Structure 1
Amino acid sequence: MLRLAAYDGTLLGLEDWENELSLKESRVRGKVEEELVVALAEAMDMYPLNASSMGWETEFMPNAANQSEGCTLSTAYLIVARSLPLVASHRLKALPLGALSSGLLAIIDSAFQSGTFLSSLEQSLFSNPDGKLSISPTSQFATNLQSMSSSPIIVSMAPLSRLGALAVSALADSRPRQAWLVMAEIMQRLEALTRTVEQDWVRTRLSGTGEESDVAVESQEIAKELWSTLKTLLFTTIMIVQAVLTTVVYVPQPTQETPAHTSATTPIPSAHSFALTALHIFSHLSFVLPQFGGVTSTAENSFVELKKVFYTALDVLASDAGESERFVRMLCEDTRSQESSHKLPSRFLHAKKAYSLACIEQLVPVLQDEVLRTEVYPMCQPHLSDSSHREAYESSHSVMLAIFASYAERANKGEAEAISHSHQEGPAFAEQVVPSYVRSLIENSEDGALSTTQLCMAFAALVRSAGAFGSSTPANANLNCNTPSPGDAFAWYCIEALLAEIHSTNNPRPSHTAVDDHLYRLHLTLVATVPSVSLPLLPRLLSEVREAVRAYPVEQATLRGEVVQALLKELSQNVGDREKEYVMGWWYETREELLDGSPLPFSSQTAGDNDQNSEMLVSRL
Structure 2
Amino acid sequence: MLPLRLAAVSAADSPTSVAASAVAVVQPPFSLVPLNTLANAFRQAVHIRKRPGPEWTHSILNGLEGAHPVLRLAASTGLVLGLADKSVTIPTRVQDHAIIALAQVMAMYTSVEWDHNSNDTLALSLILAAQSLPLISSERLQALPLPTLVNLLTVSLVFAFTQNDFSSVSSLSRLAGLSLSLLLDTHPEQGLASAQECLISLRDLAARPDPPKPLLFSTVMISDSVLSSAVYIPPSRYTEITPLDLAHTTLHTLSHMSNLIADFGGIHDAFKELRKTTYLALDILASASASSETAVAATNAFINELVQAQSPLDLDKKAFALVCIEQLVPASSVGTIVDKVWNLVEPHLSSPTTSNRQVYESAHSVVLAIFARAQSESASIPATQHPESDSRIDKGKGRSKGDDFPTLTLISFTRTLLPSYTQTLIQNSSPNDRLTTTQLCMAFEATARCAVACDKPAATTSSSISFSMDNGEDSLAEMIIEDIITAARTLENSSHNDSDSREQLHRLRLSLVSCLSALPVHLLERALEECKRVLMLPHFGGSGGDADDEDREGDGERREALIQALYKEILEKVGDREKDVVVKWWYDILGDFAAATAAVGDDHESRMGRERRWGDWFRARL
1:469 counterpart SS class:
helix
The one-letter code of the counterpart of 1:277 is: T
1:314 to 279, 282, 285: 282
Q: 1:231 to 1:590 in 2, by over 3 A?
A: farther
Structure 1 pair 334/359, CA: closer, same or farther in 2 (3 Å)? closer
Contact 1:49/1:103, CA 8 A, preserved across alignment = no
The whole-number CA distance in structure 2 between the counterparts of 1:512 and 1:184 is 59
Deviation track 1:69-120 (CA, whole Å, cap 9, x = no partner) reads xx5222112112232111111101001111111111111111111xxx7xxx
Report whether the alignment pairs 1:37 with 2:107: no
Alignment partner of 1:438 out of 422, 426, 437: 422
User: Distance between the aligned counterparts of 1:322 and 1:592, measured in 2?
Assistant: 62
Residues 509 and 576 of structure 1: CA distance in aligned 2, closer, same or farther (over 3 Å): farther
- Aligned partners of 1:88, 1:475: CA distance in 2, in Å? 53
Letter in 2 for 1:544: E
Select 1:356's aligned residue among 304, 321, 324. Answer: 321
Match of 2:141 among 92, 101, 110: 92
> What SS does the corresponding residue of 2:351 show, helix, strand or coil?
coil
2:349 to 364, 384, 389: 384
Aligned residue in 1 for 2:437: 452
Displacement after TM superposition at 1:312 (Å)? 1.4
Residue 254 (structure 1) shift: 5.6
> What SS does structure 2 have at the residue aligned with 1:450?
coil
Aligned counterparts of 1:179 and 1:491: Cα–Cα separation in 2? 52
Contact 1:74/1:107 (8 A) holds in 2: yes
1:270 aligns with 242
For the Cα contact (< 8 Å) 1:414–1:472, is it kept in 2?
yes
Does the 8 Å CA contact 1:249/1:316 hold for their aligned counterparts?
yes
The alpha carbon displacement at 1:47 in A equals: 4.5
Q: Which string of whole-angstrom CA distances, capped at 9 and with x for unpartnered residues, describes residues 460-493 of structure 1?
A: 1111121212444769999994852799822221
1:593 Cα deviation after fit: 1.8
Aligned to 1:285: 257
2:536 counterpart (550, 568, 572): 550
1:521 corresponds to which residue?
507
Q: 8 Å contact 1:353–1:392 — kept in the other structure?
A: yes
Q: Which residue of 1 aligns with 2:38?
A: none
Q: Distance in 1 between matches of 2:123 and 2:336?
A: 48
Shift of 1:48: 4.5
Q: Is the 8 A contact 1:549 1:560 kept in 2?
A: yes
Counterparts in 2 of 1:128-527, with a 5 A limit?
A: 148=164, 151=165, 154-195=166-207, 197=208, 200-201=209-210, 230-253=212-235, 255=237, 268-295=240-267, 297=268, 299=269, 302-318=270-286, 319-320=288-289, 322-328=294-300, 331-332=303-304, 335=307, 338-339=310-311, 346-348=312-314, 350-388=315-353, 389-414=356-381, 417=385, 423-424=406-407, 428-446=412-430, 447-472=432-457, 481=467, 484=470, 489-509=475-495, 516-527=502-513
Contact 1:488/1:533 (<8 A) preserved = no
CA contact (8 A) 1:459 1:529 kept: yes
CA deviation string 1:471-520 (max 9, x = no partner): 44769999994852799822221111111101111112599999711111
Q: 2:158 is paired with a residue of what secondary structure?
A: helix
Distance of 2:465 and 2:310 partners within structure 1:
50
What is the SS of the residue equivalent to 2:281? helix
Structure having the higher Rg: 2
User: Residues of 2 paired with 1:415 and 1:245: CA distance?
Assistant: 39
CA distance, structure 2, for counterparts of residue 459 and residue 86 of structure 1: 52
The residue aligned with 1:107 is 156
Cα separation, 2, equivalents of 1:174 and 1:510: 71
Aligned residues: 493
CA distance in 1, matches of 2:321, 2:497: 48
Q: TM-score, normalised by structure 2?
A: 0.72
Deviations 1:556-582 (A, max 9, x none): 322211111122122122222333343
> Which segment drifts farther, 532-541 or 423-432?
423-432
Q: 1:429 to 1:486 in 2, by over 3 A?
A: farther
- Quote the sequence identity (%): 34
Aligned to 2:34: none
Unpaired runs of 5+ residues, structure 2, are: 1-69, 391-404, 542-551, 599-609, 614-622
Unaligned runs of 5+ in 1: 19-23, 118-147, 202-228, 257-266, 340-345, 603-621
Contact 1:471 1:486 in 2 (8 A): no
Assess if the C-alpha contact under 8 Å between 2:466 and 2:519 holds in 1.
Answer: no
Deviation of 1:239 after TM superposition, in Å, equals: 1.0
Relative distance call for 1:419 and 1:333 in structure 2 (3 A) is: farther
- Is the 2:134–2:178 contact (alpha carbons within 8 Å) kept by the matching residues of 1? yes
Q: What is residue 564 of structure 2 aligned with on the other side?
A: 565
Aligned partner of residue 445 in structure 1, secondary structure: coil
**SS state at 2:589 partner:** helix
Distance 1:29 1:362, change over 3 A: same
Give how far 1:336 is off: 5.1
The Cα shift of 1:419 comes to 6.9
Partner SS for 1:575:
coil
1:327 Cα deviation after fit:
4.1
CA RMSD of aligned residues (A): 3.2
Identify the range of structure 1 (476-485 vs 176-185) with the bigger mean alpha-carbon deviation: 476-485
| CA contact 2:266–2:320 (8 Å) conserved in 1 | yes
